[in-house]
Structure 1
């Protein structure tokens, strides 16, 4: 039976939507400081960190799905640092951490999404993955505004997104351990 892009990878596309929403946080999160120079510097360094993470992806050993929990944890740590930042320099540190993680995360997720598809279906699969990612980017400001209203500040909203990332990392780690123990038995 042939696995189609629509049927295979729905979970990965849901994670891609979450990543898309997290990926767009950096330009918004940099606003937790009022210094425009810091916002520009944070955005520039975070963008460079994304590139560095993507390059690091090509050199990392092992299977991409095995590193997903750790990479989500790095992204979440960056969000938490931004959320707790009492100084503009910490906003930059958090942005760099987060984007270093997303630089590894994006190609890892795309590799996982495509690995279960036949070669002829990978174009459609990539299209579905990309649609999920950009849907997440579209939802990002809406979710952050709603969360900011609920928790009282943009910094707290970004910190909460860091906790969500930690929960996703934990869920992926538990799922990976279950899959490993199922194969052993």
Structure 2
């Protein structure tokens, strides 16, 4: 009687001659590094790691996985930044890891917030004038919500994406780990 083979045995038989190229191995190491780095960054955000502990663990991880690209860590930290939230934790970390890029990131965030505030103010004024024009509602007590205005929502989404792109570009320009 013939031998019954498992799916795994069949796969192993058919792929025994295959091996990963150097590029594929490097890509896999980078992906593994990025996944494990996200775990470290989350532990840092939760307060379980200090800046020094994080730095040591990142360096150990880079050595273990033979990752020489120091921009991966800086890119991961910057990727956790949200233009609409307080990013002081990540900016403080970047001030230690990549001081050259930190000032530019802060400036880009300030520009975004100023543009967002202007857009919200304009949206509120548009809604206020529409209420007065269409419904005869006016006065100092009228407080329209610009977040409900589709035009304002689209403008805010556009500004947010531009800010994220700008942050990524700044990190790409000067994101070497110190």
Shorter-chain TM-score above 0.5: no
TM-score normalised by length of structure 2: 0.31
Bigger CA radius of gyration = 2
TM-score normalised by length of structure 1: 0.31
Greater RCO between the two (CA within 8 Å, min separation 6)? 1
More helix by share: 1
